[in-house]
Amino acid sequence: MGGITTELRTGLAFCTRLPVTAPEDGNLAQAAWSFPVVGALIGALGAAVYWLADGLSLPPFVSATLAVAATALITGCLHEDGLADTADGFGGGATRERKLEIMRDSRTGAYGAIALIVSFMLRVGAIASLAGPGLAAAALIAAHAGARAGLPLFMRAVPNARGDGLSSDVGTPPTGPASVAALLGLLALMLCLGVGTGLVAALLVVAGLIVLARLCLRQIGGQTGDVLGAVEQVSEILIVLTAAALL
């Protein structure tokens, strides 16, 4: 139990801006199984914001906007930043070296800005289209848990594009934690969205991971912390769109 608690704290400290101190002996690669658990918590907090806004009789679009904004605030825009940097690098660089250089730049360019706009519009629109706060809450929890569940497997399947940076520092998650993360993510999808819709969402996420893996290998020869942020965002979008289409 002590090890599980340490790994949960490690996952919370890394994935959120909640007041949780990372343990000194924390190993993020070993704690990768906790990513979907932390994601479920993030989604639940976003759902609470949606319920509060709905209780104040705000329109669904406003409630969904506040919920998505709350999840971004809780994570410190960790994944949104990665999406923007990846879009800028892949879209604006002519060579592998130039792409990686652009991705290190803290400034956001046109590709990154457009990627963020599209990401927020798709997530907000999908959640707002669901009939009531109950389904919106289910979609938020499923999206944030399911989107983070595939990250450890992606890190195992795709090599680091460079020898330094966030992803390189974390290292490769062991097979056990990566497998547990994937199973927890699948369980969250089926519990929140139903077995059929959850399986469809899971298959779409897997397809998205394959496409993104091929893309980043072709663009920069591997993955980085920014690429992982983009992977999370794309997976989150696929899940909420599936919920909007099938629930």
> pLDDT for 213-227, tens place per residue?
999 999 999 999 999
Residue 246 tokens, joined: 């099938």
pLDDT band of 163, cuts 50, 70, 90: confident
Residue 21: the pLDDT is 83
Q: Taking the alpha carbons of 169, 161, 16, 242 in that order, is the dihedral positive or negative?
A: negative
- The owner of tokens 């410190």 is 76
For residues 17 and 81, the answer to whether their CB atoms sit within 8 Å is: no
CB-based burial label for 238 (10 Å; 0-12, 13-18, 19+):
buried
Residue 2: the pLDDT is 63
Residue 110 tokens, joined: 């046109």
d(CA 210, CA 68): 26
Can you tell me whether residue 130 is helix, strand or coil? coil
User: Looking at residue 174, what DSSP letter applies?
Assistant: P
pLDDT, greater one: 50 or 105: 50
- Which residues face 160 on adjacent strands? 223
> pLDDT for 64-89, tens place per residue?
999 999 999 999 999 999 999 999 99
Q: What are phi and psi of 19, to 5 degrees?
A: -75, 70
Residue 243 tokens, joined: 């919920």
Q: What are phi and psi of 86, to 5 degrees?
A: -65, -45
pLDDT band of 106, cuts 50, 70, 90: confident
> What is the pTM for the complete model shown?
0.95
Domain ranges of the chain: 35-246
Can you tell me whether residue 223 is helix, strand or coil? strand
Residue 1: the pLDDT is 62
Q: What are phi and psi of 210, to 5 degrees?
A: -65, -45
Q: Taking the alpha carbons of 151, 153, 158, 163 in that order, is the dihedral positive or negative?
A: positive
Can you tell me whether residue 95 is helix, strand or coil? coil
The pLDDT of 110-135, averaged and rounded, is: 96
The pLDDT of 150-171, averaged and rounded, is: 85
Residue 90: the pLDDT is 96
d(CA 209, CA 151): 9
Per the prediction, the chain carries an average pLDDT of 94
- The owner of tokens 């993020």 is 28
In 142-227, at which residue ranges do the beta strands (DSSP E only) sit?
none
For residues 139 and 237, the answer to whether their CB atoms sit within 8 Å is: no
- Which residues face 223 on adjacent strands? 160
pLDDT, greater one: 225 or 131: 225
Percentage of the chain lying above the pLDDT 90 cut: 84
The pLDDT of 99-111, averaged and rounded, is: 92
